Structure formats: C-alpha cells, structure tokens
Amino acid sequence: MAPRIIVAHGYNAAPHRHWFPWLVEQFDPGVVTVPALPNSTAPELEPWVDTLAAAIGGVDDETILIGHSLGAITTLRVLERMPRPWRLRGLILVAGFVSSLPNLPKLDEFTAPPVDLATLAAHIEHRSVIGSDNDTTVAPAFTAELARGLEAPLTIVSGGGHFVDRLGCHSIPELLPVVNRMLEASPPDTIETRR
C-alpha cells in the first residue's frame, strides 16, 4: 500500500499557505493531503475534529499525520476519539501545544480536558515534535511540554518563529528528513499495544 501523509493546518491558515505547498511538492502527487479546516479565523473544536477525521479516515502502518499549531492538538483529538485498536506509522507535530495558551484563550476549548498523551503514544510507531526558539505564538515551553508527554524527540529550529508565511517561512528543511526516516522505517511485523 502506498504511504499517505495528511497535514492539519492551524488557526488563521489554509492549505495554500505557509510551508504546506512546499511539503506537497516534495512527494509524488497524491501522497500529501492538506484538507481545509472550516472557518480557520474563528475555529471551533467539533467542526475541526469532524473535518479532519473525515479526511484521515482510518490510520495504519502507511499513514503519517502532521499537525501545525492548532492542527497539532486537533490531530490529537481525532486520534483519541478513534475506535481502538489502531496503529499509526508516524506523527509529527510542528509548533504544537496541549495546554491552554495565555495569549490565545479563544482556543481553550481545544485543550480541555487534557489529552492522554501516553495512551496515544503507545499506538504511534514514530513520533517527532518540531519547534523553534523564538516562537511568540506558541512559546517554546509549550512545544517542549508536548514532546515530553509524547516521549518524542524535539527538534529546535533556530529563528523559526511560528513557521508561518508572514514571517517568511515557506519551507521547513528540518522537517523533510524526519518524514523520510518515518517513510523508510520498516513497519512492525506485529502490532503490540502497550498499556
């Protein structure tokens, strides 16, 4: 089965913005999908989760999910509602968060109640988090907290900001080797569910 990569964009974003078109161009046509999440200037949890869940469908050893900012917590919400058992090949969260952001209280419905990161991590073969050292939208401490909770390696991009086009970000070169490592890794022969 061919691999597929689904990217969840964030608040005030769209599939044609930021680094998403660049990522699509790195792979064969149809491998990377960036669904448009509804009303991104005034996002609501349930429509976002429903739309992303419909775009993802089921997950398997050929699926990699990537979430940026609000798309990261939305991806986690989709996974926590997914009927078990399931197994996901890879999860990459960019400038993600799972705690309430003091500067963006309007997004609090996405972070409450807390996500059980340890339970989700047990179903995800490869996990990675990418952040920057000067993100003023999602402070670096929030992204580091997410990486710890998922027991995922954290890649820090110096001067990456929030990885948005208004700050000149149209690609994330550090993301590509992470995706490629996940694609090249052999899928497990047996699926083990850790408790």
Phi, psi for residue 148 in degrees, rounded to 5: -60, -45
As a CATH number, domain 4-184 is 3.40.50.1820
**Which residue numbers are catalytic?**
69, 135, 162
For residue 100, CA distances in Å to 30, 31, 73, 97 come to 34, 33, 11, 8
What tokens were used for 122? 């047990």
Quickly list H helices, 18-122.
20-25, 45-56, 70-81, 108-111, 117-121
Domain ranges (residues) in the chain: 4-184
Instruction: Check residue 1 and give its pLDDT.
Output: 67
Q: Taking residues 88-104, what's their average pLDDT? A: 98
Task: Note the pTM of the prediction, 2 decimals.
Answer: 0.94
**pLDDT tens, position by position, 18-58:** 999 999 999 999 999 999 999 999 999 999 999 999 999 99
Residues above pLDDT 90, as percent of the chain: 93
Measure the CA–CA gap between 56 and 72, rounded to whole angstroms. 14
What is the pLDDT at residue 181?
95
- For residue 115, the one-letter residue type is V
Q: Within 10 Å of residue 3's Cβ, how many Cβ atoms?
A: 18
Backbone angles phi, psi at 61, to 5 degrees: -75, 0
Q: What is the pLDDT of residue 2?
A: 80
